[in-house]
Structure 1
Amino acid sequence: MNIKSIQKKNLIITRVFDASVKRVWKAWTESERMMRWWGPKGFTSPLAKIDFREGGASLICMRSPEGKDIYNTWEYRKIVPMQQTEFIQNLADKDGKRIDPVKASMPPDFPQDVRSVVTLKAKGGKTEMTVTEYDYTSDQIFDLSEAGLEQCLDKMAESLK
């Protein structure tokens, strides 16, 4: 019997923002603030419906430079105000219904149910934020996710100035 082991990798990005924990927290929890930074470089965010409570779900849209809308749902599992939030990310349709990534023209190894944790810590008037996305099994998707998240966080830093 041939058993293939799948290596899982966690994407971990830590940034320090020149902003208070409260301002960084609001960037994750308030629609108008999230729409300023969500999506990689060149993308906009025309929609962020946020139901920020344990058991709640948000629907966030990023629009490509070509005008293609890509929707994500975030289902909140754990919230520790001003410190941590944990949610499950999935691709969705415009109504917030989870969709199969392959049907959304994504590669077959594009993940579903991505567990994500955002942790904030005050650091002398600034905020250290760590974003962790768990259990990637594809190096290609990991690299794309890392590049996209880095670009989103660059835009977040700009929005906090």
Structure 2
Amino acid sequence: MDLTVTREYDAPPDRVWAALTEPALVARWWGPAGFTAPVARMDVRPGGVSLVSMRSPDGFELYNTWTYGLVDPPRRLEYLLRFCDATGRPVPPSSLGLPADVPATGVPHELTLHPSAGGTELTVTERGYGTAETVHLSRLGLEQTLDKLAAVL
């Protein structure tokens, strides 16, 4: 099952692109409400791998790698998100307390940016979840994360 969320931002596409790809900016918005992002090592290029983390208010940390396929600034970004340890080594999402149907092989992400009258329309699609419940949980986290992105912009 897939999840798609679209947001309008009052910023031009190049500014939204920068917020999605520059380490200092990603560190300011990555993760749901109340989470921080202590690590944002970005290598945004085809075949590049970024390492990002999010820390919950109680100190629990989740790490992800983002392995890039398509990088077309400032229009489209495609990457495979995998859960990992602090060194970037993949770990099963279920070992982190995440739903068993989050694909261990990774969650494909597609981000598209389109100029709009208000600035930029950003659409994020996540693919491959096994249940509607997991899609719902991911949507909650994604919407909170995109709210934080708006604050950065």
**TM-score > 0.5 by shorter chain:** yes
Match of 1:83 in 2: 75
Deviations 1:27-79 (A, max 9, x none): 11100000111000010111100011000000100000000110011000111
Please point out which of 112, 120, 131 is paired with 1:119: 112
Contact 2:101 2:129 in 1 (8 A): no
CA distance in 1, matches of 2:94, 2:123: 29
After TM superposition, give the deviation of residue 103 of structure 1 in Å.
2.0
Gaps of 5+ in 1: 1-8
Number of corresponding residues? 152
1:159 is aligned with what amino acid? V
Match of 1:129 in 2: 122
After TM superposition, give the deviation of residue 141 of structure 1 in Å.
1.2
Map 1:69-108 onto structure 2 (within 5 A): 69-108=61-100
Whether 1:19 and 2:11 are equivalent positions in the alignment is yes
Q: TM-score, normalised by structure 1?
A: 0.91
SS in 2 for 1:75: strand
Please point out which of 65, 68, 82 is paired with 2:60: 68
SS in 1 for 2:150: helix
Whether 1:140 and 2:133 are equivalent positions in the alignment is yes
Match of 1:5 in 2: none
Contact 2:9 2:118 in 1 (8 A): no
Please point out which of 25, 34, 39 is paired with 1:33: 25
CA distance in 2, matches of 1:102, 1:116: 19
Match of 1:44 in 2: 36
CA distance in 1, matches of 2:99, 2:4: 22
After TM superposition, give the deviation of residue 125 of structure 1 in Å.
5.3
Contact 2:2 2:125 in 1 (8 A): yes
